[in-house]
Chains A and B, each alone.
Chain A
Amino acid sequence: MMNYSSGPPTTTQEHPTAPAVHAAELTVVRGPRQVLRGLDFDVPRGQITGLLGPSGCGKSTLMRAIVGTQAKVTGTLDVLGLPAGHATLRSRIGYVTQAPSVYDDLTVRQNLDYFAAILDPGRTAAERRHENVTHTIADVDLTSHADALAGNLSGGQRSRVSLAVALLGTPELLVLDEPTVGLDPVLRRDLWNLFHTIAADRGATLLVSSHVMDEAERCHRLLLMREGEILADDTPDALRTQTGADTVEAAFLHLVDEAIAAGNQPRKESVR
């Protein structure tokens, strides 16, 4: 449970019923390549939406656009009722990059202490920060490593430190880029349970990317991506029944084949 006693929860006054993310004609250009090609989709609030697709299909770029760190974004992209990248969104979104972005020459606790001080600054908040940091470390199961240098941890442990940073504070939207990559099955299950707890208890929205299709079954909704376009936007059940497949993976492959057969396979552009 993520309790965080920093006054009343900042409910969104802008459009309480608006989706957490709304994209229309969303296009991103990186170098000579169009990485996202006119996407239209909504991410509903309070649910876990999985963003799935093969490596290089534009998942990370889409996530960077949503958190407002991607340049050359055109089209409509509203996040929590505000244009993506709006300054007030910075404290309302938690973001985990694919590579763990933490300071290797600080301990786990020192890393979290610093980021907590950025989110909730001031000496008066010190006690609240300390509690918040302690139970966030517990949430990602790193209590026994709290005083170890991040650089000395294993890959999976470091990515959990990175995840813990995003869990600090009370983000209304959590954007997690491949948070479970390289983790063992037990830990993956625990983290997915944590994601569900966060969504259920806090009403937070989670957008989780993965290229492992079995994780798709754990999401409320799925966005299937391929070569910068969205192949499907539905619940896992609906996808399976629609395609008559047993698993989401089979459903995805079915949709890919369908797209190729329909001849609207996106042209592969020469990379650089």
Chain B
Amino acid sequence: MSTNTTTSPRTSTTTLPKPSAINYARTTATATRVLRQLRHDPRTIALMIFIPCVMLFLLRYVFDGSPRTFDSIGASLLGIFPLITMFLVTSIATLRERTSGTLERLLAMPLGKADLIAGYALAFGALAIVQSALATGLAVWFLGLDVTGSAWLLLLVALLDALLGTALGLFVSAFASSEFQAVQFMPAVIFPQLLLCGLFTPRPNMHPVLEGISNVLPMSYAVDGMNEVLKHTDVTANFVRDALIVAACALLVLTLGAATLRRRTA
């Protein structure tokens, strides 16, 4: 009678890489690496985190006489800030990765493209949470931003926006061959959305053609979602739709971004 109490061998056995889409350990290693890079650059972190707060503060006193306007624009900006910051940071970071040769090196290693992208999304997502939490907290508790719904929902939309910004930045960096070009993609990709998203005037008031265009731009739904939270106590169907659209756009663009990471280049 042999009781099968085979002690597992002391020698560490390397588990074979599973053919899954995402390797958890490699993704977190990538996210840790991206955050470590940022930690050596405290000025960038400070700029990313405090600029939105300063802008909101400024906005509050610009609209000192009309708090309703501050409510509407302030809430929209809570969604727009993370999108813009993450767009800029990601497009420069991945461009650097492409030009420094580290991307080629990583893709010659057993790293999945999904691991790399998820790692970036994870690291910048974490940063976006900090940024959005500070900005939302400041706006709601100190600047008197009047939100009918839950501040958590604002944070959720902000996070989805950050993800969208990361995705757009990653995608766009494939088309930039220098950091000058990458920065110029900001006005090209972000400004039209900024003008058409309903921040300056409600979208139905625009020229029908522009309204039609704004209907297919993801930032419009980010702003709509923020305004839903602003005006309604509970989670409305419109809010769910807006949040899903932003999330779906982010995923779509991330997938497109993955396609721009090529193992073989000319």
- Interface residues in chain A, defined as those with a beta carbon under 8 Å from any beta carbon in chain B: 5-7, 30-31, 67-73, 85, 87, 90-91, 93, 95, 97, 99-106, 110, 114-115, 117-125, 128, 149, 165
Q: How far is the CB of A149 from chain B (nearest CB, A)?
A: 7
Please indicate the chain B residues that have their CB under 8 angstroms from the CB of A67 in the complex: 108
CB-based contact B36/A125 at 8 Å: no
Closest to B40 in A: A105
Binds A, one of B10-18, B203-211, B214-222: B10-18
Please indicate the chain B residues that have their CB under 8 angstroms from the CB of A120 in the complex: 14
CA distance A4 to B32 in the complex (A): 24
Q: Does B265 contact A (CB under 8 A)?
A: yes
CB proximity to A under 8 Å, residues B94-136: 100-102, 104-111
Most B CB within 10 A of own CB, among A95, A105, A149: A105
Q: How far is the CB of A114 from chain B (nearest CB, A)?
A: 4
CB-based contact A71/B109 at 8 Å: no
A68-B264, A69-B265, A106-B37 known; A101 vs B110 contact (CB < 8 Å): no
CA distance A114 to B263 in the complex (A): 19
Please indicate the chain B residues that have their CB under 8 angstroms from the CB of A102 in the complex: 100, 102
Closest to A110 in B: B36
CB-based contact A103/B33 at 8 Å: yes
In the complex, 25 of the A-B residue pairs with CB atoms within 8 angstroms, ordered by the A residue number, are A7-B13, A69-B263, A70-B265, A71-B262, A87-B110, A90-B109, A90-B110, A97-B104, A99-B100, A101-B102, A101-B105, A102-B100, A103-B33, A103-B100, A106-B37, A114-B29, A114-B30, A114-B32, A118-B26, A118-B29, A118-B111, A120-B14, A124-B12, A128-B12, A165-B105
Please indicate the chain B residues that have their CB under 8 angstroms from the CB of A99 in the complex: 100-101
A67-B108, A69-B263 known; A122 vs B15 contact (CB < 8 Å): yes
A69-B264, A91-B110 known; A106 vs B25 contact (CB < 8 Å): no
Q: How far is the CB of A151 from chain B (nearest CB, A)?
A: 9
Please indicate the chain A residues that have their CB under 8 angstroms from the CB of B104 in the complex: 69, 97, 101
CA distance A80 to B12 in the complex (A): 26
CB proximity to A under 8 Å, residues B1-25: 11-15, 23, 25
CB-based contact B40/A149 at 8 Å: yes
Among B11, B37, B105, B106, the residue within 8 A (CB) of A5 is B11
A91-B110, A117-B26, A118-B111 known; A101 vs B15 contact (CB < 8 Å): no
CB-based contact A30/B102 at 8 Å: no
Among B36, B109, B263, the residue within 8 A (CB) of A85 is B263
CB-based contact A70/B33 at 8 Å: no
A69-B263, A70-B264, A101-B105 known; A119 vs B100 contact (CB < 8 Å): no
Q: Does B47 contact A (CB under 8 A)?
A: no
CB-based contact A95/B105 at 8 Å: yes
- The 7 nearest A-B residue pairs measured at CB: A101-B101, A121-B25, A117-B29, A71-B264, A114-B33, A90-B110, A105-B37
Please indicate the chain B residues that have their CB under 8 angstroms from the CB of A118 in the complex: 26, 29-30, 106, 109-111
- Interface residues in chain B, defined as those with a beta carbon under 8 Å from any beta carbon in chain A: 11-15, 23, 25-26, 29-30, 32-33, 36-37, 40-41, 100-102, 104-111, 262-266
CA distance A91 to B12 in the complex (A): 18
Q: Is the interface of B mostly helix, strand, loop or mixed?
A: loop
Please indicate the chain A residues that have their CB under 8 angstroms from the CB of B37 in the complex: 103, 105-106
Please indicate the chain A residues that have their CB under 8 angstroms from the CB of B14 in the complex: 6-7, 120, 125
CA distance A38 to B266 in the complex (A): 18
A103-B37, A104-B100 known; A121 vs B265 contact (CB < 8 Å): no
Q: How far is the CB of B197 from chain A (nearest CB, A)?
A: 34
CB-based contact B25/A93 at 8 Å: no
CA distance A68 to B262 in the complex (A): 11
Please indicate the chain A residues that have their CB under 8 angstroms from the CB of B41 in the complex: 105
Q: How far is the CB of A128 from chain B (nearest CB, A)?
A: 7
Please indicate the chain A residues that have their CB under 8 angstroms from the CB of B29 in the complex: 114, 117-118, 121
CB-based contact B26/A6 at 8 Å: no
CA distance A6 to B15 in the complex (A): 10
CB-based contact B101/A97 at 8 Å: yes
CB-based contact A122/B101 at 8 Å: no
CA distance A259 to B106 in the complex (A): 40
Q: How far is the CB of A32 from chain B (nearest CB, A)?
A: 11
Among A5, A31, A68, A100, the residue within 8 A (CB) of B108 is A68
CB-based contact B36/A72 at 8 Å: no
CA distance A93 to B107 in the complex (A): 12
Q: How far is the CB of A66 from chain B (nearest CB, A)?
A: 10
Please indicate the chain B residues that have their CB under 8 angstroms from the CB of A85 in the complex: 263-264
CB-based contact B264/A7 at 8 Å: no
CA distance A119 to B29 in the complex (A): 11
CA distance A65 to B48 in the complex (A): 41
Q: How far is the CB of B151 from chain A (nearest CB, A)?
A: 34
Please indicate the chain B residues that have their CB under 8 angstroms from the CB of A123 in the complex: 25
CB-based contact A71/B265 at 8 Å: yes
Please indicate the chain B residues that have their CB under 8 angstroms from the CB of A100 in the complex: 101
Among A91, A97, A124, A125, the residue within 8 A (CB) of B109 is A91
